[in-house]
Amino acid sequence: MVATSDYDEFHKLAKRCLLTNTLGSNAQRRHRHHRETMIENISSKLHDTLKKDPIRPINFREVFESELFGLAMKQALGKDVESIYVEEIGTLSRKEMHKVLVMDMMEGAIDVDWRDFFPYLRWIPNKSFELNIQRKHFRRMALMNALIKDQMKRIDAGEEVNCYLDYLLSEAKTLTMDQLAMLLWETIIETADTTLVTTEWAMYQLAKDTIRQVKEENFSQIRYLDAVFHETLRKHSPAPLVPLRYVHEDTQIGGYHIPAGSEIAVNIYGCNIDKNYWENPEEWNPERFLDEKYDPLDLQKTMAFGAEKRACAGSLQAMLLACGAIGRLVQEFEWQLKDGEEEKVDTVGLTSQKLHPLLAVLKPRN
Give the pLDDT confidence of 175-217 residue by residue, as tens digits: 889 999 999 999 999 888 888 999 999 999 888 876 555 554 5
Q: How many residues does the chain have?
A: 366
* Euclidean distance between CA atoms 237 and 247, whole angstroms: 25
In terms of phi and psi (left: phi > 0; alpha: psi -120 to 50; beta: otherwise), the region of 349 is: left
Q: What is the pLDDT of residue 210?
A: 61
Q: Do the domain assignments include residue 149? A: no
pTM score of the predicted model: 0.85
Q: Do the domain assignments include residue 352? A: yes
Average of per-residue pLDDT across 85-97: 95
* pLDDT score of 272 more than 80: yes
Domain count for the chain, please give it: 1
312 annotated ligand-binding residue:
yes
Q: Do the domain assignments include residue 334? A: yes
What is the CATH number for 165? Answer: 1.10.630.10
* Euclidean distance between CA atoms 343 and 334, whole angstroms: 20
Q: What is the pLDDT of residue 296?
A: 64
Q: Which domain holds residue 69?
A: 9-79+161-238+314-364
DSSP SS3 for 58? strand
Q: Which stretches of the chain are DSSP H helices?
A: 9-18, 25-30, 32-52, 60-77, 94-98, 104-110, 127-156, 164-171, 177-192, 194-208, 222-235, 268-272, 315-332
Q: What is the pLDDT of residue 219?
A: 46
